[in-house]
Amino acid sequence: MSESIVTLKKGEGRTIKAGGAWIYDNEIASIMGHFTNGDIVEVHDFDGYKMGHGFINQNSKIRVRMLTRNPETVIDDEFLRMRVRNAWEYRKTVMQGGNPDSVKADMKGMAAALSADINCCRVIFGEADWLPGLVVDKYSDVLVVECLALGMDKLKEKVVNILKELMAADGITIRGVYERSDAPVRKKEGMEPYKGFIGEEFDTNVEITENGVKYMVDVVNGQKTGFFLDQKYNRLAMQRIITGLRNNDSLKVLDCFTHMGTFALNCGLAGAADVTGLDISEFAVAQATANAERNGLGGRVKFRAANVLDELPKLYEAGEKYDVLILDPPAFTKSREATKNAIKGYREINMKGLKLVKDGGYFATCSCSHFMTQDLFTEVIGQAAKAVHKRLRQIEFRTQAPDHPILWAADESYYLKFLIFQVVDEK
């Protein structure tokens, strides 16, 4: 651990004082001592008060990422083991339940249901687990690592080895680890994007089960680390909606931006008679179609490649109407500066989607950008509904699954907003 000291300007450091994890370059008054980028430094307030330890990187505007706010804590292998153990124990606690229909009364059945729900989950979620810049996702017996911070990049293999040991103690054998640190944002840390094996090579196509649905995940070529785990229980919520509508033999569902067919397949599994999934990516459509066949849903769940923004007006002009419509678009903004244009985009897509929902039908919509705040997103949905003369009855407001915990004062950890409505025509 470096003996360097980072001292903040007077009046700065409000984020970490509130419980956050980042110190920006313009908050720093001085840096004393010798260090190499990625080293751990001690952080002091302007008056010398010790505030804890974190990684320093002068390549990044996020100059220091805090590891601990306890100045007496020593950052060593035992500290790292404690952080990783806490992250794993947390997932085993909060990711219980799975699909309620799969929970059996006997203890053997209960154990099977609980273990199935950690078949796939996010094990480490960066700053929210006090391991800044590091993500580790578990897909069955494979771990996928994404590292976006230089300091943590130096420790990632230690973290992986500790995690494998902890899982082995719980009877879980990890057959391979793959790194998906290929996000361009790594360049802001002075690192090049990278993809490759950590340890021995293995078959990187992995079958997982989530909410009773089987998927084949391609951890090398899939988006992010291969799959969007954060919508797990939101998909389960849509299963419940479809189950409640099951007496409708002609139930039609449209899943927009379907990716691997996740919401569509959950709806099909719950009994929807006619499900269509749309995605602009031919690769995603091929994956989704294969997943439908894998679950025996090929006859009721279909996918096709289309630009959703262009396709929805065409469907409206053709007189199509849906009992359930789901909008799960990519983030329309990845910066604060682009939020104004994102508002227009979210308003437009929600207007187009709402026009296709039958009177009394159901509408799910979401945003995965942390710059699109909860208040702002709900305001935009309200504007969209007013513009197309629809009335909304809110059923649920949801966010990301609990394996993606939200760290208060770290706004970037709260990004997913998911709302389910019943849509009623104004009469």
Catalytic residues: 368
Pairing status of strand 417-425 against strand 390-399? antiparallel
Q: Which residue has the tokens 């094996």?
A: 197
Contact 148, 183 (CB under 8 A): yes
- How wide is the angle at C-alpha 261 spanned by C-alphas 256 and 339, nearest 5°? 40
Nearest of 123, 93, 119, 287 to residue 212 by alpha carbon:
119
Give the three-state DSSP class for 181: strand
Sign of the torsion formed by the C-alpha atoms of 201, 205, 207 and 210 = positive
Two tokens at 427?
A: 């009469």
Distance from C-alpha of 367 to C-alpha of 419, rounded to nearest angstrom: 9
Distance from C-alpha of 369 to C-alpha of 327, rounded to nearest angstrom: 14
Give CA torsion, residues 169, 401, 214, 279, to 10 deg.
-140
Nearest of 232, 260, 234 to residue 137 by alpha carbon:
232
Nearest of 32, 41, 34 to residue 63 by alpha carbon:
41
Contact 198, 145 (CB under 8 A): yes
- 12-31 in b/e form (b: 16+ CB < 10 A) is bbebbeeebbbbeeebbeeb
Q: Where are the alpha helices (DSSP H) in 95-171?
A: 107-116, 150-153, 156-169
